[in-house]
Amino acid sequence: MKRYGLLGYPLGHSFSARFFAEKFRREGIDAEYVNFEMPSVEGLRAFVASDPALCGLNVTIPHKQAVIPHLDALTDEAQAIGAVNVIAIERREGALRLVGANTDAVGFRRSIEPLLRPCHRRALVLGTGGASRAVVYVLRRLGIEPHYVSRRERPGAFTYASLTADDVRAHHVIVNCSPVGMYPHTDECPALPYEALTEEHLLYDLVYNPEETLFMRRGRERGATVKNGMEMLRLQALAAWDIWTR
């Protein structure tokens, strides 16, 4: 039986395991998908080498950037983004080769593109982790100027403390790439001046559990278009499967 899995920490509410278990059952695929909770990726190569049935990995928080030094190659897109969420495992004549890819970008683009309007020219990207890198990569290619919002000061970025209502009015796309608001912390949301939101705003939350986060609800109450990250997750997972099985 072939084995695939998710590498991250923690993984208590993983989407991928449920998605692939259903896919394998529905399509009669003789494979399993396992959550591998690892606080560190230092032993990644030894771990993969020890399991000959392992054919591919997804990578999630907090390892999307940390895995890169442990890989043999990156796809052009993963290299440009600077983050990996898929690892293809190649075993040839006893040699192990790990190739990093990024399917967050294709998932996000296909998910958000139908919602975009001419007024969506500038974006606030909440969070600075691996997922936000894919989001920024896509936004730039869609002709949308992105600006990070971070808890800490960093060049060219807003902080939550410095962000004003005028800043929100000037950025009609807001993408939450942070885990704020994720179950079980459903009473939390990013610290924004929500009173500045309008019907021209699009709020996209990469969080998918709960289905409607407080971030989304506060946007919807101001007339904004809102969407969660479930479709993006499904699209990136299907793209990962294509990489593993091509």
CA distance 175 to 203: 6
Q: What is the rounded CA–CA span in Å between residue 60 and residue 151? A: 21
Q: Is 64 a catalytic residue?
A: yes
* Token pair 């609800």 in the structure block, residue: 217
Number of C-beta neighbours around residue 66 at 10 A = 17
- Which residue in 2, 23, 64, 227 is the catalytic one? 64
Whole-angstrom CA distances from 107 to 71, 85, 209, 220, 238 are: 23, 12, 17, 23, 9
Smallest CA-to-CA distance from 12 within 32, 35, 33, 34 is with 35
215 and 181 Cβ atoms separated by less than 8 Å: yes
* Tokens found for residue 204: 């996209």
Which residues are tagged catalytic? 64
